[in-house]
Amino acid sequence: MLRYAVVFLIVAIIAAVFGFGGIAGEAVWIAKILFFLFLILFVVSLVLGRRGGPTV
């Protein structure tokens, strides 16, 4: 799950760079949403990934 969050974070950063740079002017809000969404997913994955599995 952490791997997917990292991949999506990188994709969102690339989309944000293009959107914030004016290359895709009408898609700026999509890049912003994706950036913050995947940033949140990345942080959640980091937190949940640090927890140990269930101990029996």
pLDDT at 27: 67
More confident: 29 or 55:
29
Instruction: Determine contact, residues 15/30, Cβ cutoff 8 Å.
Output: yes
The full DSSP string for 19-51 is HHTTTTGGGHHHHHHHHHHHHHHHHHHHHHHHS
pTM, full prediction: 0.46
When pLDDT is cut at 50, 70 and 90, the band that residue 25 belongs to is: low
When pLDDT is cut at 50, 70 and 90, the band that residue 35 belongs to is: confident
Q: Where are the domains of the chain?
A: 2-49
